[in-house]
Amino acid sequence: MYRIAEYSVAVFIIVLISGCILNLLKQHYIFQLGGIAFFLTFMFFKSIYIIRKTYDIRPAEFYASMLPLLGGLSACVVSMLLGFWIFPYIRKKFKN
């Protein structure tokens, strides 16, 4: 479980850095919505696969298997929030 948490934090940091780089673009939200849709779709299909493979899975194991995807999804949402809140000022600085 400890390695899954480390992996999830690493996924969060990598996706957050990538999202912050995307925030420098004018239409960053299109790519971030695509990332959110990707993570949600992947979580849906992975959960179907896990439930079909092992029907008697415990909720803690299921959550642990979804934790990296939830980390990526939350990083997309956080970077989108930063893109609407902080990065317009940064884009204006680069534009001038």
Tokens of 15: 């996706």
Tokens of 68: 């990296």
* Mean of pLDDT values over 61-78: 92
The answer to whether the CB of 80 falls within 8 A of the CB of 20 is no
pLDDT above 90 (res 41): yes
pTM: 0.84
Q: DSSP string of the chain? A: -HHHHHHHHHHHHHHHHHHHHHTTSTTHHHHHHHHHHHHHHHHHHHHHHHHHH-TT--HHHHHHHHHHHHHHHHHHHHHHHHHHHTHHHHHHHHH-
| pLDDT for 57 | 87
- What pLDDT band is residue 27 in, cutting at 50, 70 and 90? confident
